[in-house]
């Protein structure tokens, strides 16, 4: 076996930059109907088919969430895991070995395991998948992706999921840069709006549960404006209530931008080890809300930097500047802050019960 696995307590999972692989994320998802489980994964570098670039043995903690579809069936979900990564040609071999090793630790009625892979998309490294202007056009069709990922596997059992859950595309900012350099790297219009917001007197401050109702009003307004599915207020309350102290790895800051006594924009900034993540944002339709959003984002970036983070994750964008993409406006806004666009592999499934899996897959494709 390439992998060995041992159970561990959720709270014993070690700090990591990868927010969805923290005890905090397990607690939040536990309040939303998932059953979290912790594991320690060990991979030997000397065993056949292994191409890890690290030492003889690599260890990492793994958070797995069990979700029941009905009273008798469930699936396992690995949010942004596993973190360790072999070479591209061994992605499938590693996931196959890991899935078969984990199987005995999962419920007997577990239909499949779904990996929401944070690894860089294989097709984002190939010139033929970029247009003449340097924009990534995306990966090929699922059957072509599956052919490559299953290369060298014994069971040819990995499937590209019909849905992706966590963001596949995001912008990362290097917070090792000085503030002046971060400003310089912004697009002109973004830098102008950040400075103009300051001159306008838009203030950004941190608030707690006492202003959750104000956050939720802005969120509902934003969701309706963009035709987004609505989460209830308890969903966001759980995020604030389940955070750790900063020294334990994860801390949540609800930042709010106000102008003349009125809240115009708000966001959840999450500090996880050495990474700041822009988890959720919301804004009013009031005429100053645009500038407030720029002030809010810049304050979050500075806060993450001052808190010791070395990188900032915008947590979601379109894969390119295609104006027809539903996240086009979000993409343009986030791109303006000067980060580097990163494309992940997205969700991949390893079915244990093939017939049941095909039925669930069809349901997801039709939703």
Could you list the pLDDT tens digit for every one of the 367 residues in the chain? 467 899 999 999 999 999 999 999 999 999 999 999 999 999 876 544 445 544 567 889 999 999 999 999 999 999 999 999 998 999 999 999 999 999 999 999 999 999 999 999 999 999 999 998 889 999 999 999 999 999 999 999 999 999 999 999 999 999 999 999 999 999 999 999 999 999 999 999 999 999 999 999 999 999 998 888 889 999 999 999 887 655 557 999 999 999 988 999 999 999 999 999 999 999 998 766 679 999 999 999 999 999 999 999 999 998 988 888 888 889 999 999 999 999 999 999 999 999 999 999 999 988 7
Residues 160 and 187 in one domain: no
77 domain-assigned: yes
**The pTM is what?**
0.93
Residues 18 and 144 in one domain: yes
Contact of 276 with 150, CB cutoff 8 Å? no
Dig out the tokens for 316 from the structure. 């979601």
pLDDT of residue 46: 52
352 domain-assigned: yes
pLDDT of residue 247: 55
**Residues 236-240: contacts with CB within 8 Å, 24+ apart?**
236/212, 236/268, 236/280, 237/209, 237/212, 238/27, 238/28, 238/31, 238/32, 239/28, 239/268, 239/270, 239/279, 240/208, 240/209, 240/212
143 domain-assigned: yes
Q: Tell me the CA end-to-end span of the chain in Å, nearest whole number.
A: 38
Residues 16 and 159 in one domain: yes
Residues 7 and 145 in one domain: yes
Q: How many CB atoms lie within 10 A of CB 138?
A: 15
Among 268, 247, 248, 310, which Cα is nearest to 24's? Answer: 248
Q: How many CB atoms lie within 10 A of CB 311?
A: 18
Residues 11 and 157 in one domain: yes
**CATH number of the structural domain spanning residue 293:** 3.40.630.30
Residues 103 and 191 in one domain: no
- DSSP-derived letter for residue 187 is -
Rounded CA separation 62/14 (Å): 9
Identify the domain containing residue 270 by its residue range. 177-309
318 domain-assigned: no
Residues 139 and 199 in one domain: no
Residues 184 and 139 in one domain: no
pLDDT of residue 47: 43
Contact of 187 with 335, CB cutoff 8 Å? yes
Rounded CA separation 19/283 (Å): 24
Residues 142 and 190 in one domain: no
Domain count within the chain: 2
13 domain-assigned: yes
What is the longest distance spanned by two Cα atoms in the chain?
65
Dig out the tokens for 234 from the structure. 């308890």
Residues 25 and 154 in one domain: yes
How does 85-99 read in b/e, with b if 16+ C-beta sit within 10 Å? bbebebbbbbbbbbb
36 domain-assigned: yes
203 domain-assigned: yes
Residues 152 and 35 in one domain: yes
CA distances from 212 to 45, 149, 176, 238, 278 (A): 48, 44, 32, 11, 17
- Which of 262, 293, 309 terminates a domain? The answer is 309
Chain segment 174-219, per-residue pLDDT in tens = 999 999 999 999 999 999 999 999 999 999 999 999 999 999 999 9
Residue ranges with strand state E in the chain: 3-8, 35-44, 57-68, 74-79, 110-120, 159-160, 169-174, 203-207, 250-259, 262-272, 275-283, 311-313, 340-351
Contact of 188 with 248, CB cutoff 8 Å? no
Residues 46 and 195 in one domain: no
């Amino acid at each position: 076996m390439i992998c060995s696995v041992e159970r561990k307590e959720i709270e014993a999972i070690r700090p990591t930059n990868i927010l969805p692989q923290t005890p905090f994320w397990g607690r939040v998802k536990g309040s939303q109907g998932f059953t979290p489980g912790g594991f320690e994964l060990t991979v030997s570098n000397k065993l056949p088919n292994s191409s890890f670039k690290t030492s003889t043995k690599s260890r990492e903690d793994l958070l797995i969430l069990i979700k029941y579809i009905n009273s008798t069936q469930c699936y396992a979900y690995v949010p942004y895991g596993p973190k360790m990564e072999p070479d591209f040609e061994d992605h499938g071999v590693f996931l196959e070995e890991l899935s078969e090793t984990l199987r005995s630790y999962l419920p007997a009625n577990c239909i499949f395991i779904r990996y929401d892979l944070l690894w860089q998309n294989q097709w984002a490294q190939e010139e033929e998948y970029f247009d003449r202007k340097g924009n990534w056009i995306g990966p090929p069709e699922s059957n072509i992706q599956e052919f490559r990922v299953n290369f060298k596997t014994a069971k040819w059992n990995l499937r590209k999921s019909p849905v992706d859950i966590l963001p596949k595309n995001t912008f990362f900012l290097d917070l090792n840069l000085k503030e002046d350099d971060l400003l310089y790297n912004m697009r002109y219009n973004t830098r102008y709006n950040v400075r103009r917001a300051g001159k306008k007197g838009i203030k950004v401050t941190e608030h707690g549960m006492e202003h959750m109702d104000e956050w939720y009003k802005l969120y509902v307004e934003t969701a309706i404006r963009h035709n987004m599915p609505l989460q209830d207020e308890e969903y966001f309350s759980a995020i604030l209530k389940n955070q750790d102290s900063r020294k334990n790895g994860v801390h949540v800051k609800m930042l709010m931008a106000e102008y003349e006594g009125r809240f115009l924009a708000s966001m959840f900034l999450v500090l996880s080890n050495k990474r700041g993540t822009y988890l959720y944002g919301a804004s009013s339709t009031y005429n100053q809300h645009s500038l407030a959003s720029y002030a809010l984002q810049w304050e979050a970036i500075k806060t993450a930097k001052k808190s010791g983070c070395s990188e900032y994750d915008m947590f979601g964008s379109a894969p390119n500047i295609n104006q027809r993409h539903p996240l086009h406006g979000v993409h343009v806004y986030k791109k303006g802050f000067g980060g580097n666009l990163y494309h992940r592999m997205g969700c991949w499934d390893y079915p244990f019960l093939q017939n049941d899996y095909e039925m669930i897959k069809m349901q997801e494709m039709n939703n």
